[in-house]
Structure 1
Amino acid sequence: MSQCLNPDCLHSNPEDCQFCQKCGSKLRLAERYYAKSILGQGGFGRTFLALDDFKPSKPPCVIKQFLPQAQGTATLEKAAQLFDQEAQRLELLGKHSQIPELLAYFTADNRQYLVQEFIEGDTLQQQLDNQGAFTENQISSLLKDLLKVLYFVHKHQVIHRDIKPENIIRRASDNKLVLVDFGASKQVQRTSLSVTGTVIGSAEYCAPEQAMGKPQYGSDLYSLGVTCLYLLTQASPSDLYDPLESKWVWREHLNGNQVSDKLGKILDHLVETVFKKRYQSVEEVWEDLRRYYGKPPTRQTPQPVTQKFKFDIVTVNSNGQKINRRPGQAECIIEDLGNGVILEMVKIPGGTFIMGAPSSEAGSNNNQRPLHRVTIEPFLMGKYPATQAQWRQVASFPKLKWNLYPEPSNFKGLNLPVERVSWYDAIEWCARLSKRMGKPYRLPSEAEWEYAARAGTNSPFHVGDTLTTDIANYNGNCTYSSEPKGVYHQKTTPVGQFQHANAFGLYDIHGNIWEWCADPWHEGYGGAPSDGRVWDGQHIYVGDLVNVLISKDTKVLRGGSWYGNPDYCRSGYRFSGGSGDLNVSYGFRVACALSM
């Protein structure tokens, strides 16, 4: 069934309907999302279970419709601000395995909509209702799991402000806890912690300073502590605190549930009403968990998860018209880099291809020739260019040779590709990642990059004869063939925003960011190796020593960028940059040997 989103209708329609049979409203949002049923309704609007009709597997998602019940101009403005704020916070936090991913945020029919990842599972409130009070082991596991998420949230200067059992979901697929509903969250500026603001949050779980409009990072820890007390006792938090005695009396409501002194001390410290006496940071709670339970909840090296994923593969003609669409599937290895940051590595199958661009290809030149056959062994390559969240996390690992600036990018956003990083920076980043994970992460060779980008095609682009701005991020004021001009974003876009992967399952291969390769620059392919290895300038004789030294200090960049025209985005296009260059269009994509 398709649920009508018109607030005055909400009629259920047969699945194949494009328009509501009762009111005539369009059923699909943004031509891709359609609601199946109503999940809930609150003061700010309705939440719908929906499907993404744009993807072959039609994965479930959640549509949040802004439809405030409050009255008064000021109240409505505040409600709209909070709805918009949730989208901003989800985008700011980027991709975290235990925070729902923001998929879209837009206005349709004069109503605001937010679309996010659907988390299948029960809330902790539902789990409490179904299974009864939590045990000490369950509470300690809960703390270890959620503190990692809170560390990530606080590290990115966000206070959630509404932690409670209804906003924590135990995901059915892996039993992990997922923190949801960032509508009350607040981004912290350096001056804002001392400024009184709006009181937001659920009263029973709200820290005293937050109730006064002055939330702190420790306010989230207080709410987490109250949540734990409620789950242990099944008693309302208001019954667990004696205002006449100004103390917590939660132990009187355990009803035979056993709680050790070590956990009791941690919980007491979490719910301390005097802010300065409470835990001030996630790290302080971790330290007590380590001391009392003997196992630090971080510092573990999780085993990578292997999973298959589906995607759309499209082909366009020289006019930019999509002439074919087919489903694709690939396998990727998901590495946990810590603090909720993941790295998705796609398995690239081995094979042989013709490297370079023929003279008949528009825009090609001699540095992309002679055409030559290259055989590539299977390897792993990043599903996306390295993001700023991944860069920041790995930059925090111990230094090996060079210092790494944690936030080098001009365009800020955790899910945006990292840019303004030199070839040397990328090499250091890969080395730190390799040492931490115990695997040989590196930049791809130029041959590996082109083989992975083409993904079995021999056309200028993996999508066919030209490129359009609904497929890739480049300067849409320019064209390559007969396609119309398009959008020029004038900046990078979040990785994976453009839905069309190539046949190997790689995204953003064309445009968005130039990607460093490991190879020194050569003016053509004369003498290039045929086995896909890095073409080391030290072993190639180009006429004289000066040219060799120059080739060693100048490296290869591939893929084009947001700044350039579509010609630069061709699979066979080559570009060069100085090893130390910092440019707002230079980033990278990581590779690794398959034998991990």
Structure 2
Amino acid sequence: MSQICCLNPDCYNPPVPDKTKFCPNCGVPLVILRNRYRPVKPLGGGGFGKTYLAQDIDKLNEKCVIKQFAPQTQNTYALKKAKDLFDQEAKQLKDLNHSQIPQLQAYFDEDDCLYLIQDFIDGENLLIELANGETFDNQKIRELLLNLLPVLKTVHDQDIIHRDIKPENIMRRRDSKLFLIDFGASKQLQGTMRPGTKIGTFGYAAAEQMEDREVYPASDLFSLGATCFHLMTRVHPWELWKTQGYSWVKKWRSHLQQSVSLELGQILDKLLQLEYQNRYQSAEEVLQVLQPPPKFTNSSRRGFIKTGALFIGGVTVAVVVQNIFGTKNQKSTPEITTSANTPTPQNTPTPEITTSSNNLNSFNFEVVKTDSTGSIISRSNSSANYFTEDLGNGVTLEMVEIPGGTFYMGSPENEAQRDSDESPQHQVTVPSFFMAKYQLTQAQYQAIIGTNPSNFKGNNRPVEKVSWDDAVAFCQGLSQKTGKNYRLPSESEWEYACRAGTTTPFYFGESITPDLVNYDGNYPYASAPKGQYRQQTTDVGTFPPNAFGLYDMHGNVYEWCLDDYQQNYSNAPIDGSALTSLNVNTRLIRSSSWNAFGTGCRSAVRNLNTRVHKDSIMGFRVVVSSRTQ
């Protein structure tokens, strides 16, 4: 490879040309760890460290993975807890000698950072396979169990509970061999020791795990059952858990799109028992039911589409919640690869440009209002002020003036299909600011960062497959270019801007249709009829704006906010600022996406994901507090 990667955790653009002595972006000296491990590309990261693809010079540049522990917090308890977990992961990788677990190569301290070097698994995780159209029938699920249960037996025999088994943490190497990865969440089982922190992924994690009770081998077996369910049905357990709690496990068969064999159905019934005592108590018990195992051959696996960059979970340790959490109101839908030719935007007004008294430009647009069926019942004309940033090469960014004001944040208790984390509804006063007129486009992202990670290509489509860290890096790059302090919006700024003075479930009114919002029209809200499901993003500005002149505040892609996620609004800021003091790895997401249900598009809906998560439903838009800041 012809590049090296800067290991400064704060560097906004780490990859640089090889033979460079100092990073041109942050000025930090570039290093080859122990004169052996050359970092070449960032793979992910979180609040306590980052993960890099690397080359082992002593092994003819064989690929490996560097996990760097570089905490960005001064919280003493959080630091100690995170370091303990990082040490624990290194120790457990050393002890877990299994051909289907990435092996620890080295663990050392250098330049005040801890580094863990482990095997690189050249392949894709099962969630990517699912998104690329792979089908998991009875035989494939059986093969999955027969391949992973012996791995779990080895793990459990060492008194270790993985605690985060899910499709993302099961890798299939290019030769079809399955690997269990990411032991950053694993926990040593010592008698009836309580975990003390919630570690795992909602939907996949067993009830005892999420309730801070003891964890058992049966806890991992529940997660394995939930993983099989997801792969067979394409229904994300999180989507069911957030609306039904654990009651979904009793009727998991209702989501099947194919028949399930008697044997496999009975196994999943027992794996998905709510109480751990009613599940299999060991991996060996499940294997005994599956015997005699069929011979596993490479030819039994269908081919799949390769998707470019491989994501390997970074050091995602946290004090409250760790690792990747499924986005609320999101369905597990295959990513659709499209041509670079994108449709011409529709309903995008040609702005009438005038000069206002404060030296801003203005544009005119139409605002529509809807009833509970999503039908338009009124139309009105409006206008808004804005200024334009020149990003170079003919690419511009329009920033709309959002007047300050006071509003009620959250949803009222009588709003249909609301979630508990939208409470308590509370009054917030938001100072004026400027917000991007559109979700950030691929052309705008590439103008600053130089790359385009998006799945659905098109210059005027929103950029997606960007993590929270990627969005923050863009803001830093844009700030350097313009001299202004660009950032992600706070959660309250986002909801205030979305509502634009409305108190209804949507800024349009009581409901929506796919003529107004890009979402899955098969799942309408209120009395609206079913409609189109596009299964991909659309050009920004395709649908009507709200009263502030902002487009796609409902649908298209989810938008990262600056805030840490907390489960309700107790003690939330009331001055428009962001909540950033929780020392957690999860970040707030607002808006919704092209594959969201109608209820997920409401103005009050709150979502979460880890800061390193990337998906074709994830994007962002930027704000700046002042035009001259």
TM range (shorter): 0.3 to 0.5
Q: Answer with 1 or 2: which has the greater Rg.
A: 1
Q: Which has the higher contact order (CA 8 A, sep 6+)?
A: 2
Length-normalised TM-score, structure 1:
0.46
Q: TM-score, normalised by structure 2?
A: 0.44
